[in-house]
């Protein structure tokens, strides 16, 4: 199964699982203190705008993010090629981090670190919706099929609503939206024009 995956997607899966296993060996406090994305008023370091995306707080957090990277990332990498896929993913991760730093510094100050590959995943989702807008996606709960562009649009609106309502604490909704923006900007920079845009 893993051999059939394109190389960057496969590397992302292995790297994220590997870092999670390191944390289980007792290194989690050190990894979080050095590599999670801390607010600007906390122990922030510049490299954290990338390294936070390789840390996860639980098995479920890791599973759902990597499942999304597996499902959608492999499609995007096959369509764009490895280099352009890396551009989309890294742009999504970095702009997600910037969005989260702005929110946790100026809008909803919080002393907690951010971690997880969700920003990169949301950029991949946005790219999927732009590149394959008519592709049908089957939701798990509830099991409703919908077109990719509808799914991505609804997901973005839900994230926006949850972010401002603050009804779901502990989730970096604005980082997710920043990831979507990063995916969009990366595709636009690559000169891609899709029916959804």
Q: What is the pTM of this model?
A: 0.89
pLDDT for res 167:
62
Of 75-89, 149-163, 181-195, the one with minimum mean pLDDT is: 181-195
pLDDT for res 194:
47
Question: Mean pLDDT, to the nearest integer, of 135-159?
Answer: 84
Of 40-49, 130-139, 141-150, the one with minimum mean pLDDT is: 141-150
pLDDT for res 124:
96
Determine how many CB atoms are found less than 10 A away from the CB of residue 111: 9
Question: Mean pLDDT, to the nearest integer, of 60-72?
Answer: 94
Q: Give the count of alpha carbons within 13 A of 183, CB side only.
A: 31
Cα–Cα distances in Å, from 94 out to 1, 8, 29, 132, 133?
30, 17, 23, 24, 25
Architecture in CATH for domain 2-189: Up-down Bundle (1.20)
In the chain, domain spans = 2-189
pLDDT for res 31:
94
Contact 39, 105 (CB under 8 A): yes
pLDDT surpassing 70 at residue 24: yes
Q: Higher model confidence: residue 52 or residue 107? A: 52
Average predicted confidence (pLDDT) for the chain? 89
Dig out the tokens for 111 from the structure.
């002393």
Question: Mean pLDDT, to the nearest integer, of 101-124?
Answer: 90
| Percent share of the chain, pLDDT over 70 | 92
Model confidence pLDDT, tens digit, residues 42-62: 789 999 999 999 999 899 999
157 CB-near residues (< 8 Å, 6+ apart):
none
């Amino acid at each position: 199964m893993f051999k059939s995956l394109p190389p960057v997607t496969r590397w992302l899966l292995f790297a994220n699982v590997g870092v999670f296993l390191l944390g289980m060996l007792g290194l989690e406090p050190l990894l979080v203190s050095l590599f999670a994305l801390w607010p600007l008023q906390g122990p922030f370091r510049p490299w954290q705008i990338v390294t936070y995306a390789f840390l996860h707080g639980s098995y479920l957090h890791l599973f759902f993010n990597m499942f999304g990277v597996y499902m959608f990332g492999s499609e995007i990498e096959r369509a764009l090629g490895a280099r352009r896929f890396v551009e989309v993913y890294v742009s999504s991760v970095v702009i997600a981090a910037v969005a989260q730093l702005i929110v946790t510094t100026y809008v909803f100050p919080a002393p907690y670190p951010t971690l997880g590959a969700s920003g990169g995943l949301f950029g991949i989702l946005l790219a999927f919706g732009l590149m394959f807008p008519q592709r049908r996606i089957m939701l798990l709960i509830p099991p409703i099929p919908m077109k990719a562009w509808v799914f991505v649009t609804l997901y973005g609106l839900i994230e926006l609503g949850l972010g401002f309502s603050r009804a779901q604490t502990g989730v970096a909704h604005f980082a997710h939206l920043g990831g979507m923006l990063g995916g969009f900007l990366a595709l636009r920079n690559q000169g891609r024009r899709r029916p959804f845009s």
